[in-house]
Amino acid sequence: MKWWQHNRNHYYHQHHYNHNSNSSGNSNSASGGGGGGGRVVAAGFVFCLVCFVINGLIAVLYGWLILTPPVSLNERKGLPWLGCQEDNEGSWAIGVFFGQSPFSLKPIETTEMWRNESAAWPVANPVITCASASDSGFPSNFVADPFLYVQGDVFYLFYETKNSFTMQGDIGVAKSIDKGATWQQLGIALDEEWHLSYPYVFNYLGQVYLMPESSQKGELHLYRVTNFPLKWELDRVIMKKPLIDSFIIDHNGEYWLFGSEHSSFGTTNGRLEIWYSSSPLGPWKPHKKNPIYNTYRSFGARNGGRPFRYNGNLYRIGQDCGETYGRRVRIFKVEVLSRVDYKEVEVPFPFEESSKGRNAWNGARYHHLDVQQLKSGEWVGVMDGDRVPSGDSVHRFLLGCASVAAVSGLILFLGVLLGAVNCIIPLNWCADYSGKRSDTLIAWERANVFSSKLRRVFSRLNRVPSFLRSWIKPNTFAGRSVLTLIFALGVALSCTGVTFIYGGSGAEEPYSWKGQFSQFTLLTMTYDARLWNLKMFVNHYSRCASVKEILVVWNKGIPPKVSDLNSAVPVRIRVEDLNSLNNRFKVDPLIKTRAVLELDDDIMMPCDDVERGFMLWRQHPDRIVGFYPRYVDGSRLEYSGEKYARKNKGYNMILTGAAFMDSQVAFERYWSEQAKPGREVVDKYFNCEDVLMNFLYANASSSKTVEYVRPAWAIDTSKLSSAAISRDTNVHYKIRSECLRKFSDMYGSMRGRRWEFDSRKDRWDV
């Protein structure tokens, strides 16, 4: 007898028995189903519900312990309701770039521009974010489409800001008097009842005009300023067409209007049309070749900013929307522009895209550029960027729902194998169901062929459980292994679903301080026996948002090639002549930032923890800010681990194996004549360089010199290797205790210096 025939007979016998028992025991049962079938369904439902709850609890615990919740810049300031909410259109921000030509633009951080002369950190992109507008009282989810208007040495920036309440675009304006290093948010320049974006601002006969996109209104509007830069009035309707991303350019004695018509379904991002006129105020006549383009969205037909002239040539900026909306900008050289013809060719745009992925503010896309030449001859550009592709939040939600659906299927499968689920489809839906059913329903099914076939399919599906149990026996080792695997897979999918739905975009964003971002140099010291550590170290930390460069201090052996390291930022290897721990703090004029993160190559922690430490250091650049606290009792002078500091509810040292410091101040202090005896102790014991740095800081100030940041997690990979000076803890602590005694004699006691945990408002020091 075939397996399905055996299972079918068993299935018939079982359910005939259930039906007969139910009929005799409960004559009032519903005609559509039997009590036995109901109990089968109820038992299976309860089992599935319990399993689903268990998986859910595990997923919630995972989210609580592991996931870093998505935090907007305003939530970090205690204002979760004021803008910067997750938006399906993205999280666009705006950066400033400089170059000697429009084809050599570099981000503002490469110019080492400082907020002021006393600042300890240079400015880095992005310079305007949703938080910039929100903190000024204009709640915004993102800022995009920047256009510059330069008056002398003053920059005015007009941009789209998506209102967090109305969920439509308004036109914001900001002002900078220091070449884009800092920006004052002036307010909303234009707010209509419809969506506005792409605020193309230009001058004509001494009058300033603004031509934003207003395709939602179905018209292209031109506004004239009445009180620059915040008061505007409608001058005229240029065209009764829903044009998007339009600009006007003066060329060969005529004015040309470029735009894409939004009403052409499915071709907007691949469409370009041109009109011409003797005045930017119109009237406008269509180009003979319209539409100029009606092609693939990756072609760059849709405008992506202000056109510019360079070396006598006219260039148009277009958007490549192939992979996602606004993936990148493309530059086209206009060769022919007349009433009867138009030709352009693409030219290379050597813009260096970040390799940091979502941790970079423009890691996923950049779709708008306005570049202009200043009186000095230098070129300045403003560009928007986004760390996530278009529709990312919806995509993640759908993947999360798919994970939850897969968990449900696994739970059902588990119930089938354990015998808790005996039928997949309710019995009264099956062709071989013999319970009571209405005559009307039976007559309808006989007349409906599809219904009969569907009921036969349901019957076959209900034979699957008995077949699976005969194939995978839960009471065998193989069966238990399968059950364990199914349960583990269900837990993994539950955690995956929680990550997709509640875990945010996956970006570990930098933290702004006083509305600005900056960068630091990551410095690590290593040698040939720890090369595998270094490769993992560089691969991970080079993706952190604020890392500008990685400096590897190579103490011993043959150094690797830079090309051997998978890095998203430049790596410099400084080979030392002498194997000394003092090399860690050697004065290095090639370091381009004041902030340096000294980090041992065997410590792995999340980029978010690194970013939190950097933000705290910018608040206190005169202190050592790090992740491993220690407490030195001035009378005891015995080195102990973090547990001793916790026991004494305070700390007065931060290990510089994971700490931020001012490279100029700290390194010069370490290599001063006063520190020479201490450096000799470090060389003698090949240890204690971090202890010495703490004593030098304490000796230089009577106020607080250290700050602690508790990492979410940290892994010490030295435990996996024998190449570590601290692998023998007892010997290591004994040497460091001797260092404490010597440094106390040289530089004074630590007595009276203790700072409590959980003393700051940010609660990062608990």
Determine the pLDDT at residue 3.
36
Q: Which domains does the chain have, with CATH numbers?
A: 45-88+392-423+469-508 (no CATH), 89-93+112-390 (2.115.10.20), 520-756 (3.90.550.10)
CA gap 105, 383 in Å, rounded: 10
Whole-angstrom distance, CA of residue 329 vs CA of residue 646: 53
Confidence (pLDDT) at 26: 37
E strands present in 422-570:
520-526, 547-554
Q: What is the dihedral of CA 572, 574, 580, 584, to 10 degrees?
A: -40
CA–CA separation, 613 and 673 (whole Å): 30
Mean local confidence (pLDDT), 46-63: 89
Give one DSSP letter per residue of 218-241, joined into a string: TSEEEEEEEETTTEEEEEEEEESS
Q: Which of 662, 690, 728, 758 is catalytic?
A: 690
For residue range 597-639, list pLDDT tens digits in order: 999 999 999 999 999 999 999 999 999 999 999 999 877 789 9
Out of 14-23, 182-191, 212-221, 706-715, least confident range: 14-23
**Going by C-beta distance under 8 Å and a sequence separation of 6 or more, which residues neighbour residue 51?**
411, 414, 415, 490
Per-residue pLDDT tens digits for 162-199: 999 999 999 999 999 999 999 999 999 999 999 999 99
Which tens digit of pLDDT belongs to each residue from 348-404? 999 999 999 999 999 999 999 999 999 999 999 999 999 999 999 999 999 999 999
What average pLDDT does the segment 514-532 reach? 92
- Mention every residue, 6+ apart, whose C-beta is less than 8 A from residue 562: 571, 572, 573
β-pair type (571-575, 547-554): parallel
| 274-333 pLDDT tens trace | 999 999 999 999 999 999 998 888 888 999 999 999 999 999 999 999 889 999 999 999
Q: What is the dihedral of CA 432, 437, 438, 440, to 10 degrees?
A: -10
Would residue 245 show up in a list of annotated catalytic residues for this protein?
A: no
More confident residue, 426 or 705: 705
pTM, entire model: 0.86
DSSP state of 676: H
